[in-house]
């Protein structure tokens, strides 16, 4: 309870500071070195979530499965298996996101995505012309097509499981934790626009790609994302949204937009008054809770006294 009260007080202080700070435009935040890293990292992560090709693969899954050799009467079962794996991994990731950490899930998810697409791209690579003919070669070809179809279902399911537990589940949690409250609304809105623009172009271009080309594209993007996450993403599970390692409140003096020197005196006075009012409100709430507890205890004693029979006369 004490930790929760401290976080609520810090949140009230941060909200008061945000109200006191003059409006910050997004282009101003990008020019500020203190905020630039978090903004660019968020934009890259939001675009990576879609550039890995997840919605293109989902939109054209039936045609890709058919190209991989899945028989038409089994397309529904292949799509159902893929969707079921997606659902299971999403539920499991919600249970471990705070235990394992955001960075760990993003790293593991992007790496599994890259490996799954690499395996499927290798299996669907164009083969050279056969060296013989006859029934033996035909039987071998049918076996290879059947193996490729099964591998396609497995690799697609692994890809979607990795996406749901990594980029799909963690991206927006991470983005909400790296931005200070002064620019959080504008930054998240811009990330949303970038995210859907990337989705549009990937889905639009995906219709012109073969199964092999789509797997290569998704695998390369996922691998690049893995390297970028390993190099530049920092863990945020140990703190909370106002104490992100990318934008800690203790380092605001290095920002030309958020430092006290950049805030007018009237705004600083307003922030101090708001913080004082928040502290008084918290104290009043504690007093009311204590009074209610005392009243409940007093009422309990009165009911106990009424229900107790008098002692017998001696």
| Mean pLDDT comparison of 116-120, 150-154, 286-290, highest-scoring range | 116-120
Average pLDDT, the chain: 79
Q: Kindly state the DSSP code that residue 60 receives in the 8-state scheme.
A: T
Cα gap 106→93, rounded to integer Å: 11
Tell which residue, 253, 252, 235, has the closest CA to residue 244: 235
The pLDDT value recorded for residue 268 is 45
The pLDDT value recorded for residue 105 is 93
pTM for the complete prediction?
0.73
Cα gap 261→227, rounded to integer Å: 38
Q: Which of 70-84, 139-153, 167-181, 264-278 has the lowest mean pLDDT?
A: 264-278
More confident residue, 52 or 144: 52
More confident residue, 176 or 225: 225
Cα gap 197→192, rounded to integer Å: 9
Q: Are 96 and 105 in contact (CB under 8 A)?
A: yes
Which percentage of the chain shows pLDDT scores above 90? Answer: 28
More confident residue, 128 or 72: 72
Q: Where are the alpha helices (DSSP H) in 21-134?
A: 26-31, 33-51, 54-59, 61-68, 75-100, 102-123
């Amino acid at each position: 309870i004490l930790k929760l009260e401290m976080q609520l007080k810090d949140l009230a202080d941060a909200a008061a500071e945000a109200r006191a700070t003059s409006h910050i435009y997004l282009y101003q935040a990008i020019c500020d070195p203190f905020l630039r890293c978090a903004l660019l990292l968020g934009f890259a992560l939001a675009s990576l979530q879609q550039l890995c090709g997840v919605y293109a693969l989902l939109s054209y899954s039936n045609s890709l499965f058919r190209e991989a050799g899945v028989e038409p009467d089994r397309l529904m079962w292949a799509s159902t298996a893929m969707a079921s794996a997606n659902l299971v991994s999403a539920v499991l990731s919600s249970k471990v996101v705070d235990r394992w950490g955001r960075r760990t899930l993003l790293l593991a998810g992007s790496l599994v995505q890259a490996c799954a697409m690499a395996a499927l791209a290798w299996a669907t690579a164009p083969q050279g012309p056969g060296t013989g003919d006859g029934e033996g070669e035909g039987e071998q070809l049918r076996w290879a097509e059947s193996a490729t179809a099964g591998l396609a279902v497995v690799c697609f399911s692994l890809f979607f499981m990795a996406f749901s537990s990594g980029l799909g589940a963690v991206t927006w949690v991470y983005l909400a934790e790296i931005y200070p409250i002064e620019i959080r609304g504008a930054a998240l809105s811009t990330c949303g626009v970038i995210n859907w623009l990337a989705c549009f172009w990937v889905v639009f271009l995906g219709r012109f790609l073969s199964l092999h080309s789509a797997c290569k594209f998704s695998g390369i993007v996922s691998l690049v994302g893995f390297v970028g996450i390993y190099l530049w993403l920092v863990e945020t599970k140990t703190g909370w949204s106002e104490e992100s390692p990318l934008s800690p409140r203790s380092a605001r003096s290095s920002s030309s937009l958020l430092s006290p020197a950049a805030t007018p005196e009237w705004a600083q006075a307003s922030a101090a008054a708001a913080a004082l009012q928040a502290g008084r409100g918290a104290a009043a709430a504690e007093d009311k809770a204590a009074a209610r507890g005392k009243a409940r205890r007093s009422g309990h004693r009165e009911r106990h006294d009424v229900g107790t029979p008098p002692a017998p006369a001696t």
